[in-house]
A and B are shown apart, each in its own frame.
Chain A
């Protein structure tokens, strides 16, 4: 049986990890490769690197990062942030990335998903969706969640799947940063209507939250950042606990 995946997410700027990282074991907590390797050694199933500056000029930094990660890591990894063209993706995959994640650029130009899937295969195209619940409707936001769009989340997820997305990474902005748990209701619905894997993101604060997102919402993967970076939850203890409660993890 396919294992549920635990995915730490690293925010990267100019090739360095940013946002709180607190790891005593590391020489250099800013090096995304070193941090990625530590997570990999602890049993992370995959890593996501999110470039939060991602301007065109910085593209080279990202390719160098992809190359260094591929050199040192023996688990799959995804790079996202500011990716908007076949050329952008080509560079990253050719430097060792396994998947790329697209977000705002796909919302603005949905055909990008078709083009990328055709060129590189669905398996390496993750469509990330940032959404917020407004008046009982889940509205897709772009530009790091700052700008609302006219897209409804479930419609957009289905369209992305139809166009060739290989996975959906859904971040609930209502839950992100709260540590009060994932958006279980919308995640459960998302997992039920889609035939591609769903990565749950936003709100993880405890082991129970991961249990719920797998057991109740049926998510394929759970993604989190700060709880791992600040060692509030260790990946080994998280997996042990989930395993003991019947969740299939590696």
Chain B
């Protein structure tokens, strides 16, 4: 099985690559459209800022490639947010794979933003998750979030319930970092690889 990890101008894409290595997968770390199209699975990672990342994706043409992929695609963190319609982060039009907008956390009782650390995911959809990990903790770092929508496949509570994961057709995405979420995270990546 070939797994392509989209290598673009975003911090920390390497840890996804290493997480796959721990699962015995020697992934292709690439921004080459042909290689990405031909992979069995594609992972779209990301930590960073939405508008500059979108600019970079446009520059290298991946803004057209990613929405047209037909194999299973997993977006992570910023990757998930960029797969949505629009992000409040610097008023950025995104890839519009998911018809939902990304908005900023607004603290109600002096909660800290970014939402950083381990939090529980629940109401897991079996299309994406093994039910055995219902209620387990995963690692989040983000200031913007995807509200609950018909695409939601996992929820998390911070300030209010929001989408910890979403999916539609061949597209899957998590707001948390499975590559940094211990054994639970590894099992989530494995479930994606097993699709």
Seen from chain A, the residues whose Cβ lies within 8 Å of a Cβ on chain B are 1-3, 5, 40, 45, 70-72, 74-76, 93-96, 98, 120-124, 166-167, 195-197, 220-221, 250
Contact = CB atoms under 8 A, between A and B. Distances in A.
B114 A40 contact: no
Contact of B118 (A93, A197, A250): A250
Contact of B47 (A70, A75, A124, A195): A124
A74 B47 contact: no
Interface in B102-120: 107, 110, 112-120
8 contacts: A3-B117, A74-B183, A120-B11, A122-B114, A123-B47, A123-B116, A166-B114, A166-B116
Contacts of A123: 47, 114, 116, 141-143
By secondary structure, the A interface counts as loop
A96 B14 contact: yes
By secondary structure, the B interface counts as mixed
Given A5-B118, A220-B117, A121 B14 contact: no
Q: Which are the 3 A-B pairs with shortest beta-carbon distances?
A: A250-B137, A3-B118, A250-B118
Given A96-B12, A121-B49, A124-B11, A75 B182 contact: yes
Contacts of B143: 123
Interface residues of B, number: 37
A198 to B, nearest CB: 9
A230 to B, nearest CB: 24
Given A3-B119, A71-B22, A195-B112, 6 more contacts: A45-B117, A70-B14, A74-B183, A74-B186, A120-B11, A220-B112
Nearest to B120: A1
Nearest to A44: B182
B21 interface: yes
Contacts of A3: 117-119, 137
Contacts of B120: 1
A124 B117 CA distance: 12
B118 A98 contact: no
Interface in B2-23: 11-12, 14-15, 18-19, 21-22
B180 A75 contact: yes
A98 B181 CA distance: 13
B182 A70 contact: no
A117 B128 CA distance: 34
Contacts of A72: 22
A114 to B, nearest CB: 15
B61 to A, nearest CB: 23
Contact of A76 (B119, B137, B142, B180): B180
B104 to A, nearest CB: 13
